[in-house]
Amino acid sequence: MTASGVSGGTLRVALAGSPNTGKSTVFNSLTGLSQHVGNWPGKTVELKTGTCQRGDTVFFFVDLPGSYSLTANSPEEETARDYIIQDQPDVVAVVVDAASLERNLYLVCELLELGVPLVVVLNMTDVADGAGLRVDPQALQSALGVPVVPTVATRGEGMSELLDAVQAVAFGETRPPAPLPPTSAEVQALVESLGGMLPPDLALPYPRRWALVKLLEGDRAIAGAMKQALSTNGWRGVDSFLRLHEDAILEIAGARDEWVAQTSQRVVHRSERERVPLGERADRILTHPVGGVLALLGVLAAIFWAMFGLGTPVQKRLDEWLVQGSAERLESALEGAPDRLVSLLADGVIGGAGLVLTFVPILAILFLALALLEDVGYMARAAFVMDRFMHRIGLRGKSFLPLFLGFGCNVPAILGSRIVESRSARLTTILVAPLMPCAGRMVVVTLFSAAFFGGAAALVSWSMVTMNLAVLALMALLLSRFVFRGEETGFVMELPRYHAPNWRTVLMTTWQRVRAFVVLAGTAILAVSLVVWALSNFPGDSIQDSALGMIGRGLEPLGQLMGLDWQMIVALMTSFVAKENTIATLGVILGTGKGDVDLSTQLTQVMVPAAAVAFIAVQMLFVPCVASLAAIRRETQSWRWTGFTVGYMLAISFAVGIIIYQVARLMGWGV
Amino acid sequence: MIDERSQQYLKAIGQMEEEGEEATTSSLARSLGVSMPSVTEMIQRLSVKGLVEHQRRGQVRLTEDGQRLAISLIRRHRLWEAFLVRFLGFSWDEVHEEACRLEHATSTGLEERLASFLRDLDTCPHGHNIPYRGSPRRAEPAVPLSKFPGPGPVRVVRIQDETAQFLRRLTQLDISPGRVLHAEGVRSADGSVRVRLDGHSHQVPAEVAERIMVQPAQTEDVPTDKPVAVAVTELRPDETGIIADLSGGKSFVARCLALGCTPGAEVKVVRNGGRGSLIISVRGTQVALGRREAERLLVKRAGGT
């Protein structure tokens, strides 16, 4: 019977693999646009699923979070492991990088120990060839006892063979797996002793022997489950036994690594022409203490230039066409309809949410740049170079990655901080992430500085970014010095091989992030636009008499210190829901969208430069948007830290706003 | 059920047989510190119960039943000693007395639980083999330090005197089972032995040396003059080393191991600026390490490339 002879129904396939093995590329190649991105139930880890149909068989793929081992060192690794063990997919396909097989076989070894139905995806064989390494798939297959499929996912090669192998394993057409990597007598004795201390009928959601080994490896999640299942005294005994044998992990992992080294020696052939990869030469500069930082600054500058040099003209066009143009068309089409209805559609919907949508091109450029840097392997170098500086403010290089994402949007920065393992460093990263100048705020800053400062606009924008980063550094330092004092942070990170960008993956990631933003604009931001429209149209007829106007005027004494009138305060308040809303609100309040005057011109008519600088400074440091706050609450699992973030940002923003306005006025910008 | 005194006799005979020595009424009297007539009386009582065989010239042997009892007592004693030192923080000079009391109050069930809990252990804190259930175990061949022929490295196998006073004396000399000393020969004048330990010379008196059982050290036991492990931060770029050990938080260790940084693996330092993080290359993967983390990764220098 051939592999494709048995088919039909749905096969659940889990895609496992370490980070940087091209796992996402395999996933994209297989599932294309059928992907669904969400969250694991009850967890804060991204869940990607997708399907692929061949004949009458549907393959349902779950892209597991990248993990180096089956020990739960991070929420990602725990999620991946629990899915494999508890949800029991029909087949686990583990993606390994042929160019660094030795490192990848560790996870394969653990999966073999677990005894799950396994297919090994030997990916990036082209990269390995280029580096002068030839991996013999046949030899690997006979060494592992499970099917090995060579692929080049970037070119879609080997995908059909992969599906064949998955089907063959799912329908039990393959040989039984090879014997497990052997455990030494010492480890065996430890496992038996530990087993003797546990009741034989102890109910655990893991295979017993496997759980015992993991316990000896110091797995926290399993220790937690064990503690729950045992009596206090029973656990105390187990705990002291484990503490005594803390070194067992060296023995256990050492045995695996030995097996890995032997296996890879048998299947990897190094050719004579093995040469220094281009990446290593690039790293001489990119990881250099000075050159690396300069290179990083250059990269950041290029991204900003692309965002504002290329993105802004497109945004302006969209603004003319989408916001002003369609508002006019709408008004002429709806002639005779009630004024309130026309105003709702033109000011509330188009002038609010529509305006925010015009920023999609700018965000798309940013998301594209980030995805590209991540894909080619540069991000890890950036983290390495930044570790020296991050270390000084109490953070580690790893925190740089999520914080950097914060340039796009604070929400992925907060969610991305999960890659930071130590609790204290992770909390610090989350609490300062809202200080990253996100694209939403940059939109406001760009608009204001262009309107008020002409040629110096870039300088003003740059100063604002610098100010935020300085406040961020100060806060991180204070938090690590006084709040999380004495808590250890650790920095261990793989530097992946550089490789040519895989545009499919890059574009897919960009598309997913852009889509999330558009969805946000269509829901939360639209809702706020409508609420703001309602608040500014009711109860009175004019804005002065509306609910919003009344709140704004109530707060005017405070605003006065920063040179802000009630309209600005209202705009600031609505930025709580989404930073971009400041513009939408100003558009609604100032009646942009009808008439010939655009928002920039209107702004220069209603405020002085000193107030404008104060306003954008306050805007930059103001409380996080609702989406960020929701993310903070979720990641810290604490209302206290969420409240703390709101409190400290509110205090800093007003203090800075007052200082800037007063100083700018003395400098003569108050007219 | 037999009384505690009888048990002590059985244990003493068992220990002598373990060492391959002959148990006699006189050797028993010496080891138990009692008079010859009381030994003779006790041996007669035990032989009536079918636990020992009385032979010519005061020779005493355990019967099969006697041996089973003796082994069980010895086993309980050593298991308790090991347990007390490991889990309750006793020092090795405190546990003999405690174990003597506990062994008599230990049921077979408890003995088995203890044995299973301490399954990875082979010896008591004083270096005596823990017998397996029901079967005698020959002691590891060894000679008293006082009888060790000629200069050379020796490994301490076990201690024959478990009194607190004696063991404290050994602690002062830093001698314990597993320790490797360099014996420099016996002085004929008083029978004392000169040993070198970590570069320091000590005179071990004869009465101490004869109760320390030693074996010629194997080559792997002997510490050599090879370079000791240093933190990987000590290596310059392009220098290589073999990982000797790593320590630190559990998740740090687990992550390192999953990335291939296991003891025995070769590492090459790619970048080390003397400050800040390092980049090392291990098993074909480049890994960035914070400086503090790198200080916990110990390597033995292998030379440059």
* CB < 8 Å to B273, chain A: 289
Minimal C-alpha gap between A100 and chain B (Å): 6
β B23-24/B59-62 pair status: antiparallel
B283/A66 Cα distance (integer angstroms) = 20
The residue among B265 and A671 whose pLDDT is bigger is: B265
Partners of A157 in the β-ladder: A152
Nearest beta carbon to residue A102 from set B250, B271, B283:
B283
Dihedral of alpha carbons B33, B39, B41, B46, sign: positive
CB < 8 Å from B in window 437-496 of A: 488-495
Strand order in A148-150's β-sheet? A36-39, A46-54, A57-63, A9-17, A91-97, A118-123, A148-150
Regarding the domain delimited by B143-221, which CATH topology (the fold level of the hierarchy) does it fall under? SH3 type barrels. (2.30.30)
3-state secondary structure A261-315: HHHHHHHEEECCCCCCCHHHHHHHHHCCCCHHHHHHHHHHHHHHHHHHHHHHHHH
Do B260 and B285 form a contact (C-beta atoms < 8 A)? yes
**B13 and chain A: CB distance < 8 Å anywhere?**
no
CB-based contact B277 A490, cutoff 8 Å: no
In our burial notation (b when 16+ CB lie closer than 10 A, e otherwise), range B218-239 reads eeeeeeeeeeebeebbbbeeeb
CB-based contact A100 B285, cutoff 8 Å: yes
A351/A345 Cα distance (integer angstroms) = 8
DSSP, collapsed to helix, strand or coil, labels residue B247 as coil
CATH architecture of residue range(s) B1-139? Orthogonal Bundle (1.10)
Question: Which pLDDT tens digit goes with each residue over B194-231?
Answer: 888 877 778 888 888 889 999 887 765 555 545 567 88
Q: What does the domain layout of chain B look like in residue ranges?
A: 1-139, 143-221, 230-304
- Residue type present at position A247: D
| Predicted pLDDT of residue A94 | 96
**A186 and chain B: CB distance < 8 Å anywhere?**
yes
A643/B171 Cα distance (integer angstroms) = 58
Q: At what angle do helices A609-621 and A457-478 cross, to 10 degrees?
A: 40
β A118-123/A148-150 pair status: parallel
Nearest beta carbon to residue A387 from set B116, B250, B290:
B290
Profile chain A (671 residues) by mean pLDDT over runs of 10 residues. Answer: 53 91 88 76 72 90 89 80 90 92 88 89 86 87 90 89 92 65 77 84 80 87 85 81 79 84 86 64 86 86 78 81 79 78 76 70 80 85 84 79 77 73 80 90 85 81 90 91 66 83 85 77 71 76 72 86 86 77 75 62 82 92 82 80 93 94 84 61
Do B255 and A421 form a contact (C-beta atoms < 8 A)? yes
Minimal C-alpha gap between A471 and chain B (Å): 23
Dihedral of alpha carbons A585, A589, A593, A597, sign: negative
**B265 and chain A: CB distance < 8 Å anywhere?**
yes
* CB < 8 Å to A287, chain B: 271, 279
A575/A434 Cα distance (integer angstroms) = 13
Nearest beta carbon to residue B254 from set A71, A240, A493:
A71
**What's phi and psi for A606, nearest 5 deg?**
-100, -10
* CATH number of the structural domain B230-304: 2.30.30.90
In degrees, rounded to 5, the angle at the alpha carbon of residue B190 between the alpha carbons of residues B186 and B196 is: 40
CB-based contact A249 B276, cutoff 8 Å: no
Find the residue in B nearest to A244 (Cα). B86
Give long-range contacts, CB 8 A cutoff, 24+ apart: A308-311. Answer: A308/A362, A308/A446, A308/A458, A310/A365, A311/A361, A311/A362, A311/A364, A311/A365
**A276 and chain B: CB distance < 8 Å anywhere?**
no
**A499 and chain B: CB distance < 8 Å anywhere?**
no
B92/A559 Cα distance (integer angstroms) = 75
Q: What is the pTM of this model?
A: 0.66
Contacts of B25 (CB under 8 A, 6+ apart): B36, B39, B40, B43, B58, B60
Question: Which pLDDT tens digit goes with each residue over B67-77?
Answer: 889 999 999 99
Give the DSSP H/E element, type plus range, for residue A648: helix A639-666
Find the residue in B nearest to A380 (Cα). B288
SS3 of chain B: helix, strand, coil, percent, to 5: 40, 25, 35
* Domain at A185-270, CATH from 1.10.287.1770, 3.30.870.10, 2.170.190.11, 3.40.190.170: 1.10.287.1770
In our burial notation (b when 16+ CB lie closer than 10 A, e otherwise), range A623-642 reads bbbebbbebbbebbeeeeeb
- What is residue A325's DSSP assignment? I
Question: E strands within A167-234?
Answer: none
Minimal C-alpha gap between B162 and chain A (Å): 25
A431/A438 Cα distance (integer angstroms) = 15
Q: Does domain A3-170 have CATH number 3.40.50.300?
A: yes
**B276 and chain A: CB distance < 8 Å anywhere?**
yes
Partners of A12 in the β-ladder: A60
Give the DSSP H/E element, type plus range, for residue A252: helix A248-267
Task: Provide the token pair at A545.
Answer: 């008499």
Do A476 and A424 form a contact (C-beta atoms < 8 A)? no
- Residue type present at position B275: R
* CB < 8 Å to A71, chain B: 254, 258
CB-based contact B251 A217, cutoff 8 Å: no
CB-based contact B259 A289, cutoff 8 Å: no
Dihedral of alpha carbons A119, A125, A131, A133, sign: positive
Site of tokens 């087993």: A195
Partners of A135 in the β-ladder: A268
Minimal C-alpha gap between A401 and chain B (Å): 14
- Do B143-221 and B230-304 share a fold? yes
B111/B107 Cα distance (integer angstroms) = 6
CB < 8 Å from A in window 98-157 of B: 113, 116-120
Find the residue in B nearest to A102 (Cα). B283
| Predicted pLDDT of residue A185 | 76
| Predicted pLDDT of residue A521 | 67
DSSP, collapsed to helix, strand or coil, labels residue A232 as helix
Site of tokens 């206290």: A640
The number of residues making up chain A comes to 671
**B251 and chain A: CB distance < 8 Å anywhere?**
yes
Find the residue in B nearest to A239 (Cα). B87
Task: Provide the token pair at B221.
Answer: 């036991």
- What is residue B164's DSSP assignment? H
Q: At what angle do helices A581-589 and A566-574 cross, to 10 degrees?
A: 140
Minimal C-alpha gap between B242 and chain A (Å): 13
Find the residue in A nearest to B260 (Cα). A103
A380/A373 Cα distance (integer angstroms) = 9
**B244 and chain A: CB distance < 8 Å anywhere?**
no
Size of interface A-B (CB pairs under 8 A): 150
Nearest beta carbon to residue A240 from set B87, B264, B284:
B87
**B305 and chain A: CB distance < 8 Å anywhere?**
no
Minimal C-alpha gap between A193 and chain B (Å): 5
Q: What does the domain layout of chain A look like in residue ranges?
A: 3-170, 185-270, 295-666
Task: Provide the token pair at A138.
Answer: 């046949």
* CB < 8 Å to B248, chain A: 490
Task: Provide the token pair at A57.
Answer: 């068989």
Nearest beta carbon to residue B293 from set A196, A237, A491:
A491
